[in-house]
Copies of this chain bind each other. A is one copy, B any other.
């Protein structure tokens, strides 16, 4: 039984990579760089984007991934940037992650010619989103200090998949038993090369570093997936 399961997973990942490559070709053709932004539910992806997007030195668009609803897309729309909602509940079986095919299905709605950088806000989940490339140039994740310092050890694939780890909600540190050094130690044990930004999307402290990172990705030359 396990063997069949794993075979199915491998086939799915193969076809995913093929479609991710097609997405990537389209992004490259349009000169658009792409960030896959991931986190647990409620870690602050949308709030951080609300803070950072106005400070990014590039034309930004957002693809909002959710199981259902368009609350986050509505929030991003207030920034007057192009935003497209992609729901996994409508036609994709309520999946817990975005995959390359879902992103491809949304591409006709994304006005690539009007942007330099597409931020794909993935479904809130620390497991499966890390397994599916969608054609992105860079992967970033947010971990909230309210989640505890053990998350890199419990979800190593996610922390390893990302070049940038944003430690969010640092305004709560005085009110938590949270040891930032322990988080950094745990992160280093699974991904010693990760860049780390500490910030509070709520107060705005440190969010300019994330805006600079997005600007940097937008300015990069196209690279292989």
Contact = CB atoms under 8 A, between A and B. Distances in A.
Interface string A1-41: 11001101100000000000000000000000000000011
Chain A contact patch, size range? 35 or more
A154 B96 contact: no
A101 B153 contact: no
Contacts of A131: 94
A195 interface: no
A67 interface: yes
A128 interface: yes
A160 interface: no
Tell me whether chain A's interface is mostly helix, strand or loop, or mixed: loop
A91 B171 contact: no
A128 B88 CA distance: 12
A154 B91 contact: no
A146 interface: yes
B154 A9 contact: no
A94 B161 CA distance: 15
Nearest to A41: B40
A95 B126 CA distance: 11
A156 interface: yes
Interface string A148-159: 101101111100
A1 B40 CA distance: 28
Contact of A40 (B40, B101, B171): B40
Contact of A94 (B67, B127, B171): B127
A101 B94 CA distance: 21
A69 interface: yes
A67 B146 contact: no
A144 to B, nearest CB: 6
A123 interface: yes
Contacts of A91: 2
Most buried by B among A68, A69, A154: A154
A61 B152 CA distance: 27
Contacts of A93: 2, 5-6, 9
A1 B156 CA distance: 31
Contacts of A176: 172
Which 3 A-B pairs have CB atoms at the shortest separation, nearest pair first? A42-B147, A146-B146, A96-B127
